[in-house]
Structure 1
Amino acid sequence: MNKLAAEFIGTFWLVFGGCGSAVLAGAFPELGIGFLGVALAFGLTVLTMAYAVGGISGGHFNPAVSLGLVIGGRLPARDLVPYWIAQVLGAIVAAAALYLVASGKSGFVVGGFASNGYGDLSPGGYGLTAALMIEAVLTAFFIIIILGSTAPNAPAGFAPIAIGLGLTLIHLISIPVTNTSVNPARSTGVALFAETAALGQLWLFWIAPLAGAAIGALVWKGLLAKNRL
């Protein structure tokens, strides 16, 4: 239960902090937060929670990460579904809390509510194939970053920094394409409140990150793990 509570809290913070930066601060262009600010906010949520509760649950906060770590031999397969449930619940509760805060502003319009999408729902107008590719590729590299930075012979104590900055970079690359998911729980939570077709496109933001996580874990195990000094 301690592990599941840590995953719930960590995922809550990721969604509330990361999506909140877009929904709340992003609504005021004069603040200058922009894509860079939102990307940094997502990276900081993971970095801070990895230090805060990573020692309890491993600090996944993402169903794709949990799958990658099962394949990578870092998480028992029996823990996968309970982790997923805790993560999705944390994301939904965070999105609900964020909605309550955001709707307290006069004239608030839900709109996309920081949800993910392709086609008409892509910030840059990118299509389905582009969205599938970038979500899968970036999730694969995210898993490689996680497995590499948390390996027994990696520099101790620096993994959360590498992972947080890795997620920041991922957002800088892909916000224009899909508004960046690489995390099915994050996508699910806010899609439930969006006033767009985000729920109808949610399947992609489960399939692509999970497939990318599997690929990243297999690449790490097959090509990289044995060659670590």
Structure 2
Amino acid sequence: MRKLLAEFFGTYWLVFGGCGSALFAAKVLNGPAGEVVNLGIGFVGVAFAFGLTVLTMAYAVGHISGGHFNPAVSFGLWASGRFETKNLVPYIIAQCVGATTAAGSLYLILIGKTNFAIDNTQAGAFASNGFGAFSPGGYSMTSVFITEFILTMFFLIVIIGATDKVANGKFAGIAIGLALTLIHLISIPISNTSVNPARSLSQALFTQGEPLSQVWLFWAAPILGAITGGLIYKYLLQNKKQ
């Protein structure tokens, strides 16, 4: 139960911090008369917010659960032989519940904003992921699938390599957090960046419409990419003499 609670809180923090930065702080803020009073954090700020959520929770609760906070990561670690099959479904449930609870918290805050409404005809509504007309940059389904697959594959290689018993584990959280930052810097314009099925599902559940119908891709591509990354590390990169 402690492990599942760690995954719940870790995934909650990832979605609340990452998606919250996109919803609350990424854009230019205007005063009552329409004047610009502050500049938003933009893509770079959102990318760092996602990276910081993983970095902070990796050190806070990673020693309890392993710090997955992402169904794709759980699948990738399972494929690499670093995670038991019996724990796969409970972890994924805890991650999805944590992500959805965080999305609900974001929604409760946003409904207190004047004239707030989720426009699910727009790309990136409620920090949702999408392809085609629902990609921030108008990228096709194929482009988004390839992007999510490759980035999640490398994310797993970084995670498994950084936490290898022969690596310097004290810095693993930093490497993983910065890897997620880099991933967002690359792909926010392409897919609004998922590499995390729980994060995509949680936002889509509140957005509804086309973003919810497209969420299958943000399960399929990251999980397949993660499994590939896990297998690559296990059979091609791992020192067999360990």
TM-score (normalised: structure 2): 0.92
Q: What does 1:41-120 correspond to in 2, within 5 Å?
A: 41-111=49-119, 112-120=125-133
Deviation of 1:73 after TM superposition, in Å, equals: 1.4
Deviation of 1:157 after TM superposition, in Å, equals: 0.6
Alignment coverage as a number of residue pairs: 229
Deviation of 1:19 after TM superposition, in Å, equals: 0.2
Bigger Rg, structure 1 or 2: 2
Moved over 6 A (4+): none
Q: What does 1:143-222 correspond to in 2, within 5 Å?
A: 143-194=156-207, 196-222=209-235
Q: Distance in 2 between matches of 1:107 and 1:195?
A: 19
Q: Which amino acid aligns with 1:171?
A: H
> Do residues 3 (structure 1) and 3 (structure 2) align?
yes
What 5-or-longer segments of structure 2 have no aligned partner? 30-37, 120-124
Q: Which amino acid aligns with 1:209?
A: P
Deviation of 1:156 after TM superposition, in Å, equals: 2.8
Greater CA deviation, 183-192 or 29-38? Answer: 29-38
Contact 2:27–2:41 (CA under 8 A) maintained in structure 1: no
SS of 1:226's equivalent?
Answer: coil
> Do residues 127 (structure 1) and 140 (structure 2) align?
yes
String of CA shifts for 1:35-70, please: whole Å, max 9, x gaps: 000000000000000000000000000000000111
Deviation of 1:24 after TM superposition, in Å, equals: 0.8
Contact 2:15–2:199 (CA under 8 A) maintained in structure 1: yes
SS of 2:114's equivalent?
Answer: coil
String of CA shifts for 1:120-175, please: whole Å, max 9, x gaps: 10000000000100000000000000000000010131000000000000000000
String of CA shifts for 1:76-106, please: whole Å, max 9, x gaps: 1100000000000001000000000011110
Partner of 1:32: 40
Q: Distance in 2 between matches of 1:220 and 1:25?
A: 37
Greater CA deviation, 53-62 or 188-197? Answer: 188-197
Q: Which amino acid aligns with 1:20?
A: G
CA RMSD of aligned residues (A): 1.3
Q: Distance in 2 between matches of 1:156 and 1:40?
A: 22
Q: Distance in 2 between matches of 1:84 and 1:94?
A: 15
Greater CA deviation, 45-54 or 193-202? Answer: 193-202
Q: Distance in 2 between matches of 1:109 and 1:24?
A: 14
TM-score (normalised: structure 1): 0.97
Q: Distance in 1 between matches of 2:169 and 2:191?
A: 34
What 5-or-longer segments of structure 1 have no aligned partner? none
String of CA shifts for 1:179-214, please: whole Å, max 9, x gaps: 000000000001111154110000000000000001
